[in-house]
Amino acid sequence: MDAAPIGIFDSGLGGLTVARSVMDKLPNERIIYIGDTANTPYGPKPIALVRELALNVMDEMATRGVKMIVIACNTASAAVLRDARERYEVDAGIPVIEVIQPAARRAVAATSNRRIGVIGTEATVLSRAYLDAFAAVPDLTVIQQACPRFVDFVEAGVTTGQQLYDVATQYLRPLKEADIDTLVLGCTHYPLLTGVISHVMDEQVTLVSSAESTANDVYAKLVDADSLRSDSAGAPEHEFYGTGPVDEFGMLARRFLGPVVGKVQHVEV
Ligand code: DGL
């Protein structure tokens, strides 16, 4: 089991930000990454459909013998976490890690003025998953804002430029006006846009990405379960898959994550 890979998935490129952190913290671990690019974006879809799509991807990972599933997507985490815990963790003994709780924890630790902004997809905002995650924390004001077009920019490989800047200025205006000091990047695609987001929001605002705290959870869970891949097992070989056409996805994945991506293969789920 220790030598088995960790399964990480997202609707497309965003989950690579989580994969990056997992590789940094756990360089011995093997990763199987699936981008559900045939169905991207998840954000505008009804929660029930996102749930079905995410379960298809996770079933594929379970079939491939992963030792842990990381839902590296806020939209899917909001839609499917409870079902996934039952189906994989309880019934199959495969632990499931998600991205919303880790980001919320980190934001609470970061804020000084107790005013936190959350940006995410329409589905994540509508699900109120972040509001639930913050509910038990006293004296907190949370302002949510959906930024649906951000995912389209990232999936097209556009992370700078005037058009993106204009869209970001429009989306982020209510958050600037709300005097937040901490902004949760509640979509795993958004860390790829931190240049423009940080510029528009002002550098005084702390940007919280789920990637690093999620990787901490992955680390902690593998240590607790005593299932780290051993140092002597040799350099890990990662596998990257897309459910849609793989050429452009592979090119952009290499641009965002580097040559470690290698060849991206097509998978039907
Ligand atoms: N990266 C995903 C998230 O964290 C999904 C983006 C999308 O497909 O709309 O929400």
Q: Report the pLDDT averaged over residues 11-33.
A: 96
The predicted model scores a pTM of 0.96
* Closest C-alpha among 192, 151, 171, 113 to residue 36: 151
Burial class (CB in 10 A: 0-12, 13-18, 19+), 64: middle
Structure tokens at 194: 């931190």
CA 216 to chain centre: 13
Q: What are phi and psi of 243, to 5 degrees?
A: -85, -10
pLDDT (0 to 100) of residue 23: 96
Whether 191 lines ligand 1, by a CB cut-off of 6 Å, is: no
Pocket test for ligand 1, best of 21, 98, 151, 193 (most atoms within 8 A of CB): 151
Ligand 1 atom nearest 45 alpha carbon: 9
Per-chain mean pLDDT for the chain: 96
Q: Within 13 Å, how many C-alpha atoms sit on residue 92's CB side?
A: 21
Substitution site in 8, 98, 121 for ligand 1 pocket (most atoms within 8 Å of beta carbon): 121
210 lines ligand 1 (CB under 6 A): no
Instruction: Give me the amino acid identity at 172.
Output: L
Please tell me the predicted confidence (pLDDT) of residue 15.
Answer: 96
The predicted model gives 186-203 an average pLDDT of: 96
pLDDT of residue 231: 84
- Average pLDDT estimate for 164-192: 97
Cite the active site residues. Answer: 73, 187
Give the Cβ contact number of residue 25 at 10 Å: 13
Q: What is the pLDDT of residues 215-268, one digit of tens each?
A: 999 999 999 999 999 988 889 999 999 999 999 999 999 999 998 998 999 999
